[in-house]
Amino acid sequence: MKANDAVLIDSFLDALWLEQGASPHTLSAYRHDLTAWQRQLASRRQTLLKAQPRIFVYWLEARNEAGYQLRSNARLLSSLRRFYRWALANGLTECNPLEGIRLPKVRAALPNTLDEDEVERLLDAPDTSTALGLRDRAMLEVLYACGLRVSELIGLTLDAINLRQGVVRVLGKGNKERLVPLGEEAILWLERYLGSARGELMSDVTRPALFPGRGGGFMTRQTFWHRIRHYAVLAGIDKPLSPHTLRHAFATHLLNHGANLRVVQLLLGHSDLSTTQIYTHVAQARLEALHAEHHPRG
């Protein structure tokens, strides 16, 4: 990679981190896309700020032939456009070479979710006669009651929970804080867990992790994901799950029971309402299925 292009990419990523608090995962994705684009340009003796649109078009054609999905290409184009918007705003270029390129619209994929009976079976799966089982039951209850991201859940500290007020303080994307109601069931299981199991799992209860992993530190995403898949098997759930399955169920079930989309947005910590709107499709699909099953003219 030419030195100037490398510096440009680093400067752009630094700006994303400093100005918007972008996560390491997000920064890594942008670096991957920009580096791949720079290599395409370098093979034709061009640089990031002197790119010709036709090169991107040729690259898209090659990616399509290689089997890349429309969604992947759309994300790539979005990343590169954001870089060029930054370059324009900082006077590094006079135009966005990709401004006129359009891709077919990508329809938002409906997330995998669970119905309410399946959620109940999953929540009931841990053996709460053990300290580990009680910890896991409390984790699952909080995850479903609050619609948290897995990273938010495993990052919870003891002082983030206020059982008297019935809320949890969540540190979300971009280090943005939000308060989310816990609900009666989550509070009940947290009280049981904090009353006995947490002390059994930690040699030093002053350590901050609310739900400790091995050694009393914060649990890893991989450990939690292993646990939830284990309980899905015990509950007889054979649907494909994702780390966000209970988050999706939280949003879908709220909407199915009449919650306002804006409220769901706030609870999920989405900065843009359009991100939350995918769940209206999930709820609508459920309503259509119920109509077809139960209406005499369905």
Q: Is residue 108 part of a domain?
A: no
Provide the domain count of the chain: 2
Q: What rounded mean pLDDT belongs to the chain? A: 84
* Catalytic residue from among 137, 198, 227, 247: 247
List pLDDT tens digits, range 73-96: 888 888 898 999 999 999 998 888
- 155 shares a domain with 34: no
Is-catalytic flag, 244?
Answer: yes
Please tell me whether residue 139 adopts helix, strand or coil conformation.
helix
The residues that bridge with 167 in the sheet, in sequence order, are 162, 181
Q: What is the CATH number of the domain that holds 152?
A: 1.10.443.10
Asked which of 113-117, 164-168, 221-225, 238-242 is least confident by mean pLDDT, the reply is 238-242
| pLDDT band of 285, cuts 50, 70, 90 | low
Claim to verify: residue 66 and residue 143 sit in the same structural domain:
no
pLDDT, position 2: 45
* Among 158, 260, 264, residue whose Cα is nearest residue 209: 158
Catalytic residue among 63, 178, 221, 270: 270
Cα separation of 119 and 139, whole Å? 13
Verify that 126 and 63 share a domain, yes or no.
Answer: no
Catalytic pick among 135, 137, 149, 253: 149
Residue count of the chain, please give it.
298
Catalytic one among 198, 244, 248, 253?
244
Instruction: Identify the CA nearest to 186 among candidates 129, 147, 239, 231.
Output: 147
Domain that holds residue 23: 3-89
Q: Which residues of 80-95 are buried (b: 16+ CB within 10 A; e: fewer)?
A: beebbebbeeeeebee
Catalytic residue among 31, 173, 178, 221: 173
Decide if 57 contacts 101 (C-beta within 8 A). Answer: yes
In this structure, what token pair is assigned to residue 170? Answer: 């969540």
- 76 and 189 assigned to the same domain: no
Per-residue confidence (pLDDT) for residue 109, from 0 to 100: 55
Q: Is 173 a catalytic residue?
A: yes
Yes or no: say if 224 and 153 are a contact pair by the CB < 8 Å rule.
Answer: yes
pLDDT at 138: 97
Residue-wise pLDDT for 208-261, tens only, equals 999 999 888 999 988 998 999 999 999 999 888 877 888 888 888 888 787 777
